[in-house]
Amino acid sequence: MARRSASLSVLAVPGLVLLLFAKLCGSEKADPAAVTIDPVRQGKIAQCASSAELSESAIIVHGAGRNICADESGLFWVSKIEAAGSQLWGIRHRHPDGHETVVIAPRAGEIWQLATDERYVYFSSGKRLLRVSKKGGAPRALAALKDGLSSIVQAKGTLFWSENKEIYEMPVEGGRVQKLATAESWVSRFVVNDSRAFWIDRGASYELEVMRAGPSGAPDRFIVPDAYFGGVRGVGFDDEHVYWNEGKGFFRRALAGGVPQALAGHQDSEVPLHVDGAHVYGVYPSWDMKGAHGASIFRFPKTGGCTEVVATMRKTPDVAFDENYVYWSDSTTGDISAVRKSQRAK
């Protein structure tokens, strides 16, 4: 998506749970009192009442859905089925009018990390990066992978992907593979703004920092979080800002630099943040692998304000976004659900 659009890579849940989700931000009504984050982070965070969930979410795909991504042409996902004791993997496409088509028929060989552009679906299988027409057909191998990629992003005719500490790029039509940057420790929650890569890395201070690729490929520290709170958990961007969350809340900083601005209160996100024209979206993780405490997709205004619950589920989901919908998959059943962005919590 990902997406995520890029696919979304997941980082381990921090050991410190700061506050129960139900006591965090929520409805659009705020207490007049506000809390100043700290002298370095400009802005104040309103105290908010708990929020109801958006209504009218629906299951749109039943079973076998995973590794989802979405764009203006619809929803794509990896289908996994059992046949004669073997696992078969394929790619399916749900169009905006609701009908489904097969992009890759079920076959042997795992499929991971989807990304799309106007014509193609990009994915990894084994130690190869491949693409296939959205209309179906034979996949074409684009590049060999050293270790298997952990995330892939398409931006303005260029493919970007990460393998352990390294970020690579190449034209979507194929060609020379170039190393864009080398992380200090490892690449996690990787996003691209045009041709500039941002990622979360465990830096020399052993805190999770937001890095970006400098002109020479050397990592450039873009956001150094408050060390007390254990570093950055999620990162996203729009045309003007980078957004992230750390223990004190959510913040943004202009791509040109400057002082970070506080946006929303205590929260956490297990996936790269998604930013559209109005909101920042994230995923509040389940507290254990069995999902006993549940997970939530949430959002807040990208200029700052109270958090709204988009949907709740048992376990931390795979998520994707397009202009109008939020999608998520159930890792237990494989069902994929959707909710319209234009709704408001009741």
3 found inside a domain: no
| pLDDT band with cut points at 50, 70 and 90 for residue 164 | confident
Rounded average pLDDT over 115-141: 93
Rounded average pLDDT over 183-202: 66
1 found inside a domain: no
| pLDDT band with cut points at 50, 70 and 90 for residue 41 | very low
**Cα separation, 154 vs 166, whole angstroms:** 16
Tell whether the torsion through CA atoms of 260, 262, 264 and 269 is positive or negative. positive
CATH of the domain at 72: 2.120.10.30
pLDDT attached to residue 33:
34
pLDDT digit string, tens, across residues 293-322: 678 888 989 988 888 888 888 887 889 999
Amino acid, res. 248: K
273 found inside a domain: yes
pLDDT digit string, tens, across residues 251-294: 888 887 788 888 887 666 666 788 999 999 988 876 655 555 67
How many domains does the chain contain in total? 1
309 found inside a domain: yes
Residue 64 is part of which domain span? 21-336
7 found inside a domain: no
214 found inside a domain: yes
185 found inside a domain: yes
Helix (H) or strand (E) segment spanning residue 152: strand 151-155
CA-based nearest residue to 9, from 151, 201, 199, 181? 151
pLDDT attached to residue 128:
92
**Cα separation, 67 vs 111, whole angstroms:** 9
| pLDDT band with cut points at 50, 70 and 90 for residue 157 | confident
Whether residue 20 has pLDDT greater than 60: no
pLDDT attached to residue 14:
34
